[in-house]
Amino acid sequence: MNIERDLHIAKGEGETSYVNNSRLQQKALLETEVVLEKAVREVCMDIHQPTMTSVDLGCSSGQNTLFFVSKVIKVVGRDNDEKSRCNSVELQFFLNDLPGNDFNHVFRSLERFKESITAEHKENTLLPAFYIAGLPGSYYTRLFPRQSCHLFHSSFCLHWRSRGLLKKEKLDSFNLPVYTPSINEVKAVVTQNELFNVSHIKLFESNWDPHDDSQGDDAHNTIQSAINIAQSLRAVFGPLLASHFGESLLNEIFKKCAYYVTGHLAERGEGKYLLICVSLKRT
Ligand SMILES: C[S@@+](CC[C@H](N)C(=O)[O-])C[C@H]1O[C@@H](n2cnc3c(N)ncnc32)[C@H](O)[C@@H]1O
């Protein structure tokens, strides 16, 4: 298995696509909106150049892809009054993902995105000029010239590890290159790195079932919840499993997955995802 080639979310707009199964990730984006707004404002006030360059690492292709872009445009646009230093800054965006990502789908959606953001924009504020480019490549490699970007964003991505380890074990077994660190491990890595300060870090919980917006710990309909969970896992892990075990096994694998998740929910109550929202500032 070659991660850079085989890892991509489930393409298209069908029932098992990421487009139709990314509600879990969407909820995480909404949860971190306030932190993102604050970071955008701070960066915008700090830059001494006419262009602010922002990057979304692991943008994928689906309904969440342009969330970051639209948020930055709206925050800068809202602050675009006479007193603000953000006034007249132009925005350059890079949408990054692995080469297997459906960038064509993203590019095709840009025209509609531009129209809708222009239509939404309030008449009494200036819509900043913005330019959007795709950037295929792994974020574990160098993607930009030194000091050329002002703001990096990444959501639901950094649990994907780099690929060294994987090659060595490739012949023996399937290896899902995912690591979910604790909040202390994240802080330790940042401290060790010495390049950033943590401006904000918070752990939050999201229901494992993307369609369950309830607050409590009980899973109301364990079977339906398990199906929803298996479907959202398939949209992300399906293509990798298909490349290792073959496409024909996917239905069976995710049926089994829903079966085990039903048992887990019945025994342990509603499943929760723990997510870390972190905002870093260059030292
Ligand atoms: C679960 S999706 C999240 C997408 C989007 N940010 C969202 O919130 O919906 C994870 C994305 O990270 C990308 N990804 C994983 N490892 C990567 C790497 N090393 N470099 C660039 N993108 C990567 C995957 O291809 C996938 O599109």
> Which ligand 1 atom is at minimum distance from the Cα of 156?
3
Helix residue ranges, H only, 142-249: 164-169, 183-193, 222-245
pTM attached to this predicted model: 0.75
Q: How many percent of the chain have pLDDT more than 70?
A: 87
Q: Model confidence at 171, in pLDDT bands (50, 70, 90)?
A: very low
pLDDT at 170: 46
Residue 47: pLDDT above 90? no
The whole-angstrom separation of Cα 76 and Cα 60 is 24
In which residue ranges of the chain is CATH 3.40.50.150 found? 33-154
What's the average model confidence in pLDDT over 50-69?
94
pLDDT average, residue stretch 91-115: 94
Query: Per residue in 117-170, pLDDT tens?
Result: 988 876 666 789 999 999 999 998 999 999 899 999 999 888 766 557 334 554
Segment among 136-150, 159-173, 191-205, 227-241 with least mean pLDDT: 159-173
Supply the residue whose CA is at minimum distance from atom 10 of ligand 1. Answer: 157
More confident residue, 219 or 263: 263
- DSSP code per residue over 134-147: EEES-TTS--S-TT
> What is the distance in A from the centroid of ligand 1 to the CA of 243?
17
- Kindly give the distance from the C-alpha atom of residue 125 to the centroid of ligand 1, in angstroms, as a whole number: 33
**Torsional class of 141: left (φ above 0), alpha (ψ -120 to 50), beta (otherwise):** beta
Q: Which two tokens stand for residue 146?
A: 């030194």
pLDDT of amino acid 86: 56
CATH topology of domain 33-154: Rossmann fold (3.40.50)
| Averaged pLDDT for residues 1-29 | 75
Which of 2, 94, 98 for a ligand 1 pocket mutation test, highest count of atoms within 8 Å of Cβ?
98
Greatest distance between any 2 Cα atoms in the chain: 63
H or E element in which residue 69 lies: helix 67-78
218 CA to middle of ligand 1, Å? 30
Range 42-52 average pLDDT: 90
Burial 174-206 (b: 16+ CB within 10 A, else e): ebebeeeeeeeebeeebeeeeeeeeeebeeeeb
Cβ neighbours for 74, distance < 8 A, ≥ 6 positions apart: 117
Rg (CA), the chain: 20
> Across the chain, what does the average pLDDT equal?
86
